[in-house]
């Protein structure tokens, strides 16, 4: 459950708000049934050690990057309100070679997850929810798909660069 962002939770709640939207109903798992649970959202790179890692596809929501406007003339008279920018990177990884398990599904999986993520972050009611929690002007840009080898698996990767801004109170 995500809360409203105030001056005391600038970093934590920004990320929580994004994670709260990536639910199984908004972004269904292409490989696992809804009733089945598996961890798929990480805050850092998971420790992939075995060549039959079962965790693909997974999503990394990196910690929020916060930038508070420093320029003079852009703050309130009492200096308590300023423009705050957030950048949150969401990366999607899917495997294309699973040793007999759903081989050659990498592109299909990453595209399915990307479609659903884009749909979720473009959705008007989701944007209103984010705005209510002080994450205004939500927008994202995406990168092209790149491939890399992780523990002998060919992995597809795409990034969503989410950005938000708000003019809010940054001091008590």
Partner 1 sequence: MPKVIVISSSGDLDTCLITLDRIKKNLPRMTRLGMMRFGKILERDMKISAKHSGIKKFTGDHQEKGIRYEQSPRSDVGFLFMKLYMIYLDSMKPHYVSISLRRKRILDWAKQAFSVNLRMKARGVERRKIKKFSVFVKPHPFIRMGYASARPKLNSILKNEIKRGIKNA
Residue ranges that bind partner 1, judged by CB under 8 A: 45, 65, 67, 69, 71, 74, 83, 85, 87, 89, 141-144, 146, 148-151, 157, 159, 161, 163, 165
Residue 42 CB, nearest distance to partner 1 (Å)? 12
Minimum CB separation of residue 163 from partner 1 in Å reads 5
Which is nearer to partner 1, 29 or 157 (by Cβ)? 157
Of residues 23 and 68, the one with the C-beta less far from partner 1:
68
Q: Which helix (H) or strand (E) holds 90?
A: strand 81-95
**Beta carbon nearer to partner 1, 125 or 141:** 141
Q: Are 157 and 93 in contact (CB under 8 A)?
A: yes
Smallest distance, Å, CB 141 to partner 1? 4
Nearer to partner 1, 20 or 48 (CB): 48
SS (H, E, C) 58-73: EEEECCCEEEECCCCC
**Is 39 or 49 the residue whose CB approaches partner 1 more closely?**
49
Cα–Cα distance, 142 to 162 (Å, whole number): 9
CA distance 69 to 90: 24
The pair phi, psi for residue 132, each rounded to 5°, is -60, -35
Q: What is the dihedral of CA 22, 46, 39, 10, to 10 degrees?
A: -40
Alpha-carbon distance of 127 to 120, in angstroms, equals 9
Q: How far is the CB of 139 from partner 1 (least distance, A)?
A: 8
H or E stretch at 81 = strand 81-95
What is the smallest separation between the CB atom of 88 and partner 1, expressed in angstroms?
12
């Amino acid at each position: 459950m995500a809360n409203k962002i105030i001056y005391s939770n600038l970093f934590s709640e920004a990320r929580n708000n994004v994670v709260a939207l990536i639910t199984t109903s908004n972004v269904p798992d292409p490989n696992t049934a809804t009733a089945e649970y598996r961890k798929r959202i990480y805050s850092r790179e998971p420790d992939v050690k075995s060549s039959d890692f079962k965790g693909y596809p997974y999503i990394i929501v990196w910690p929020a990057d916060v930038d508070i406007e420093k320029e003079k003339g852009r703050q309130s008279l009492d200096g308590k309100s300023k423009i705050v920018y957030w950048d949150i990177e969401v990366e999607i990884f899917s495997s294309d070679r699973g040793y007999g398990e759903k081989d050659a599904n990498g592109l299909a999986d990453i595209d399915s997850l990307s479609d659903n993520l884009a749909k979720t972050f473009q959705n008007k009611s989701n944007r209103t929810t984010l705005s209510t929690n002080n994450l205004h002007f939500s927008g994202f840009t995406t990168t092209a798909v790149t491939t890399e080898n992780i523990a002998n698996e060919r992995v597809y990767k795409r990034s969503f660069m989410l950005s938000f801004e708000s003019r809010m109170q940054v001091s008590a």
